Amino acid sequence: MFSINTAAPTGLTASMQCRPHNMIRAPHASVRVICGSLNGSAATYPAPGLEVEKEKLEKAQVTERSPVSILTLADRMRFGGLIKDKLAYKECFVVRSYEVGSNKSATMETILNLIQETSCNHAHSWGWSKEGEFPTLPSMNKYQLIWVNYQMHVEMNEYPGRGNVVEMEHWCEPEGRTAARFDYIIKNLSTGEVIGRATSKWLMLNKVTRKPQIIKNQVRDEFLAFCSKSSRLAFAKENNRGLEKIPRLDEPAEYSRLSLLPRRSDLNMNSHVNSITYFSLLLESMPQDIIDNYQLHSITIDYRHDCQFDDSLDSYTSTEIEKEDLNGFSNDLCLLNSNPNHGRYRQFLHSLELSATRQETNRGRTIWRKH
* 272 a catalytic residue: yes
For every residue of 279-312, DSSP letters joined together read: HHHHGGGS-HHHHHHEEEEEEEEEE-----TT--
Q: Which of 270, 327, 331, 337 is catalytic?
A: 270
* 307 a catalytic residue: yes
Q: Which amino acid is at 246?
A: I
- Inter-residue contact 243 to 106 (CB < 8 Å): no
Q: What is the CA radius of gyration of the chain?
A: 21
CA–CA distance from 83 to each of 63, 113, 169 (Å)? 7, 22, 9
Q: What is the CA 58 to chain-centroid distance, rounded?
A: 24
3-class DSSP state of 239: helix
Distance separating alpha carbons of residues 108 and 327, to the nearest angstrom = 23
Q: Which of 35, 172, 227, 307 is catalytic?
A: 307
Q: Sign of the C-alpha dihedral, residues 303, 306, 310, 314?
A: negative
- Inter-residue contact 223 to 137 (CB < 8 Å): yes
Q: Which amino acid is at 94?
A: V
Q: Which of 113, 239, 272, 339 is catalytic?
A: 272
- 360-370/294-303 β-pairing: antiparallel
Residue (of 350, 260, 348, 349) closest to 307 by Cα position: 260
What angle, 0 to 180 degrees and rounded to 10, lies between the N-to-C axes of helices 108-125 and 275-282?
170
- Inter-residue contact 125 to 66 (CB < 8 Å): yes
* 120 a catalytic residue: no
HSE-up (13 A, CA, CB side) for residue 171: 21
Kindly list the catalytic residues: 270, 272, 307
